[in-house]
Amino acid sequence: MRRHFAGKMMSCIALAALMGVATVSTPAAAATLRLAWSQDATGLDPHKQTAFSSLRLLELIYEPLVRLDSNLQIAPAIAQSWDFSAEGKDLTFKLDPKAKFQNGAAVTSADVKASFQRILDQATGAAARANFLSISSIDTPDPTTVVFHLSQPDVPILTAMSNINAAIVPAADITAGTIGTKAIGSGPFKLDSWVPNSKEVLSANKDWAGGAVGVDGINVSVLPDETAILAAMRTKQVDFALLNDPLVATLVPKEPSLVLTRTPVLSYNVLQLNPAHKPMDTLAVRQAISCAIDRQDVLDTAALGEGKVTGPLTMPAYAADPSQLFCYKRDVEKAKKLMSDAGFANGFSATVIAATGEPPTAASEAQVIQAQLAEIGIKLDIKLMELNVYVDAWLKGNFDMAVALNGGSADPYTMYNRYWTKNGNLQKVANYTDDTLDSLLQKGRAETDPAKRKAIFADFEKHIAEVSPWVWLYTSYGYTAAQKNIEGFVPSPTGSLFGLSKVSIKS
């Protein structure tokens, strides 16, 4: 095995939007970054949160053992170095001795062990639990050394450990039961206050082991929509913004004082079918839905073509030409035949859920899909929900179909095992497994040869597209907008805002 070491439109037309600007805090000190987004965090527990809006906040406060850099390579975080044993069943980390939680306590191996024990405890409901089921035991020979003993070689485990869902939290807070009621991490910023759906105030962690933070803090304003954000940036009441709506993002380059970053991301827009609900339990029905959808039309209509049609594998090392997958070219006649063969020549009625605001394209995607499926007799009722209500229904698998934006990963196993393996902790969301999917994921997990892994996951992608539990649509971009005096932000294909730790404000 390899040995890893690391050194450390708005003119006069948006009065309502301008009214939204009034919620922005008054101009702050020059070294405080004024940030805005339109979707707020839904909670503070890094092990349990799945909403992108939560992860974007928590990754500024907490740290995992390792992280992915802008090139999707493993880089140090709390751990300075890591080493697989020759047979790949022991993974040893050496922690940065300077790492401290924001309460001043050192980050120790005991905190790492307690964090992963909490993630692995089914009662926790951890979002990434399935990624770590190969961990059989954890040793802590000294305060800065952690040894994970694995039941089998687990190639993607390092990538899994880079996610904020694998953040290291204080063991004392786990014991006290306060995880999620407050946010004490070891990351570049401290959470000083949070008024849900209104604002967050963060201050720089002066003791952050990752080096000097470029600003004194971040004042986050939660604005009603992204048009309001753009209006606030035009009047220089906001320095930096996270944008998700391509309709707004494409207006930013027209503003002389603003700079747009546009980064291809691993996350994917998808129509999730629920095979636990009839008639989506019938293969031919699911395949008919896949054949009836024009993915490029969904992309062009909902997202102005800002992205590309995708198969299940979105990471550069594994992504292939999706046109080779089952029914990626729309075939309405084939879809009608499949519906007839399944006994639904006259169609059926179903409901699709979508969240308001995350992504901003969700309602438009649902409307395009509704029109396309009507051509094969499916009468689709669109149910829009507030994000927290949507997430709750999604996690319970309480839907016929769902328009979703799901997170990606640099590794296929890390990305999909929680949905498509028999022990996956989000199996209730997917409600579909078969022996082929489970077997291919397990093979890909253990295989160390890159070429063989790519072939395994190509088979996985071909099979899951054909059995069609979900209909993958497209990948898009991550957008941020900044005033021209904001320097140093490095975007990431994961959508992470961790790069704000090195941002500075030029006077």
Residue 216: CB atoms within 10 A of its CB come to: 16
* pLDDT tens digits for range 165-174: 999 999 999 9
pLDDT value at residue 161: 98
Query: Given a cut of 60, is residue 22 above it in pLDDT?
Result: no
pLDDT value at residue 104: 96
- Are 384 and 364 within 8 A, CB to CB? no
Assign 396 to helix, strand or coil: coil
Tokens of 407: 């997170």
pLDDT value at residue 26: 44
Which is it for the CA torsion 153, 155, 160, 161, positive or negative? positive
Q: What are phi and psi of 107, to 5 degrees?
A: -85, 120
* pLDDT tens digits for range 82-107: 999 999 999 999 999 999 999 999 99
pLDDT value at residue 29: 43
| CA nearest to 174, candidates 48, 40, 58 | 48
Distance in angstroms (rounded) separating the CA atoms of residues 291 and 295: 10
Average pLDDT over the chain reads 93
Residue 290: CB atoms within 10 A of its CB come to: 28
Q: Assign 3-class secondary structure to 59-119.
A: CCCCCCCEEECCCCCEEECCEEEEEECCCCCEEEEEECCCCECCCCCECCHHHHHHHHHHH
At 27, is the pLDDT very low, low, confident or very high (cuts 50, 70, 90)? Answer: very low
pLDDT value at residue 130: 93
Q: Tell the burial category of 485 from Cβ atoms under 10 Å away from its Cβ (0-12, 13-18, 19+).
A: middle
- Are 241 and 257 within 8 A, CB to CB? no
Distance in angstroms (rounded) separating the CA atoms of residues 500 and 106: 24
Distance in angstroms (rounded) separating the CA atoms of residues 348 and 370: 13
- Go through the domains of the chain in sequence order and give each one's CATH number: 3-60+181-264+477-505 (3.40.190.10), 66-171 (3.90.76.10), 268-475 (3.10.105.10)
At 17, is the pLDDT very low, low, confident or very high (cuts 50, 70, 90)? Answer: very low
Query: Given a cut of 70, is residue 9 above it in pLDDT?
Result: no
Q: For residue 90, what are the β-bridge partners?
A: 149
Assign 444 to helix, strand or coil: helix
pLDDT value at residue 358: 80
Residue 179 is classified by DSSP as B
At 459, is the pLDDT very low, low, confident or very high (cuts 50, 70, 90)? Answer: very high
pLDDT value at residue 21: 39
Mean pLDDT over 12-34 rounds to: 48
pLDDT value at residue 326: 98
Mean pLDDT over 443-458 rounds to: 95
More confident residue, 507 or 343: 343
Query: Given a cut of 50, is residue 18 above it in pLDDT?
Result: no
Assign 141 to helix, strand or coil: strand
Query: Given a cut of 70, is residue 3 above it in pLDDT?
Result: no
pLDDT value at residue 357: 79
pLDDT value at residue 470: 98
Strand 217-222 to strand 504-505: parallel, antiparallel, or no bridges (unpaired)?
A: unpaired
| CA nearest to 38, candidates 230, 207, 226, 212 | 226
- Are 198 and 180 within 8 A, CB to CB? no
Q: What are phi and psi of 41, to 5 degrees?
A: -60, 150
* pLDDT tens digits for range 486-502: 999 999 999 999 999 99
Residue 26 is classified by DSSP as P
pTM of the shown model? 0.86
At 302, is the pLDDT very low, low, confident or very high (cuts 50, 70, 90)? Answer: very high
Tokens of 470: 């979900």
* pLDDT tens digits for range 241-264: 999 999 999 999 999 999 999 999
* pLDDT tens digits for range 134-193: 999 999 999 999 999 999 999 999 999 999 999 999 999 999 999 999 999 999 999 999
Q: Which residue has the tokens 């497209």?
A: 474
Q: For residue 261, what are the β-bridge partners?
A: 480
Q: For residue 263, what are the β-bridge partners?
A: 478
From residue 398, alpha-carbon distances to 128, 229, 392 in Å are 20, 33, 9
At 507, is the pLDDT very low, low, confident or very high (cuts 50, 70, 90)? Answer: confident
* pLDDT tens digits for range 43-84: 999 999 988 899 999 999 999 999 999 999 999 999 999 999
At 8, is the pLDDT very low, low, confident or very high (cuts 50, 70, 90)? Answer: very low
Helices (H), 279-411: 283-292, 295-303, 332-341, 362-374, 387-395
At 330, is the pLDDT very low, low, confident or very high (cuts 50, 70, 90)? Answer: very high
Tokens of 278: 């009839």
| CA nearest to 387, candidates 20, 126, 51, 45 | 51
pLDDT value at residue 449: 92
